[in-house]
Amino acid sequence: MIRVLIVDDSAVLRQSTRFILESDAGMKVVGEAGNGLDAITLVDRLQPDVITMDIRMPKMDGLEAIRAIMAEHPVPIVVVSSLDPDRDADLTTQATKLGAVSVMQRPQSTAAPDYKTFATRLIDQVKLMSTVKVVRRKLTKRADLPEGVIKGPAAAPQSKVKTDILAIGSSTGGPAALHQILSALPGTLPVPIVIVQHISFGFVEGLASWLNDACALKVKVGRAGEKIQAGTVYIAPDDHHMLVDRLGRLALSPGELVGGHRPSVTPLFESVAQSYGPAAMGVILTGMGADGAVGMQVLHSAGGITLAQDEASCIVFGMPKEAIALGAVQQVVALDRMAQVIQDLIVV
């Protein structure tokens, strides 16, 4: 039985969330809180497996509550809020930075056409997040990222082929992992970086802005036909697969979902393998499911360098685990060593 704490200042929304979750026989709502302050008290007393958390609340908002909970009693937190992607992207980014493992946008009403889809996704998210391991965060005025586990020194370069591109795929826990890696890389990195990160619709611009502010590298959302440049990071936009052609130009495709995702990591990796072959490097980070595993296998077969985040430093080990199981990964690396290993393996 998955024990859930619901935190929302609206009694009506707490009731509707309870109704959705308890429609699944494997879940039990053990408590409700109308603000972040009450939530902190209930977490200590009830010890829930998962928390659903609103952002805008009186007395203490969701961001402050997430910060305090992750410092004292770490629990997987799913943000469920009626956020506006145009106005509130920074709030989503902050929630993720503070330790929330997932963010969901609540429909405006139960009569909204996408409400049934939202209800199904909410149940699925809470179930999946209940299995996620979370780490204690230091309680400071800013959000500190969890420390990775040092497994050993950076490996020596495995290839003498000149490196022309770095491709990264990530999902749950990915924004924080990307922040830790990209902020540790120099602005003079001699290769472009292309990324697919699974994120709620409407929030990719906020993610790019947050990372750009934190990094020496330039971080932006990729645009169709754009020529990729060294020292720049390109993140796939909403609802489009992002590909790279042999001339180093981005292509965006509104094609079919791949493994349930659009954008998907696999098409990006496959296009990089086809266009760059052994001159490519691929990195697969924390995330649920198997997206990117097949693409990494193609990249590995093309002679590219392939790295995966290790289990100990992943929020969810799904995507790296699947790539490793396919024999597509040359080296498994702790998160806090990933930036250094990337730099050591780049051949200019």
Tens of pLDDT, residues 148-193: 322 333 344 444 578 999 999 999 889 889 999 999 999 999 999 9
Distance CA 179, CA 210 (A): 9
SS3 321: helix
Direct distance between the N- and C-terminal alpha carbons of the chain, in angstroms, rounded to an integer: 53
Please list the residue range(s) of the chain that carry CATH number 3.40.50.2300: 2-129
Q: What is the mean pLDDT of residues 30-55?
A: 93
Distance CA 280, CA 191 (A): 10
Residue 210 main-chain phi, psi, to 5 deg: -60, -45
203: its two tokens = 């929030």
Secondary-structure percent of the chain, ordered helix, strand, coil, rounded to 5: 35, 20, 45
CB 52 within 8 A of CB 17: yes
> Alpha-carbon torsion 51, 52, 55, 56, what sign?
negative
Q: Report the predicted TM-score, pTM, of the whole model to 2 decimal places.
A: 0.67
pLDDT digits (tens, 9 = 90+) for 261-315: 999 999 999 999 999 999 999 999 999 889 999 999 999 999 999 999 998 888 8
How high does pLDDT run on average in the chain? 87
Instruction: Answer whether 251's CB lies under 8 Å from 243's CB.
Output: yes
Contact between 51 and 99 (Cβ < 8 Å): no
As annotated, the active-site residues are: 171, 198, 291
- For the chain, residues classed under CATH 3.40.50.180 are 165-345
CATH class of this structure's domain 2-129: alpha beta
Contacts by 86-91, CB closer than 8 A, 24 or more apart: 86/202, 88/55, 89/202, 89/203, 89/205, 89/206, 89/207, 89/209, 90/206, 90/209, 90/210, 91/55, 91/63
Tokens 């999902």 belong to 171
Alpha carbon 107 to its chain centroid, in Å, reads: 22
Q: What average pLDDT does the segment 61-69 reach? A: 91
pLDDT class of 134 with cuts at 50, 70, 90: low
CATH architecture of 165-345: 3-Layer(aba) Sandwich (3.40)
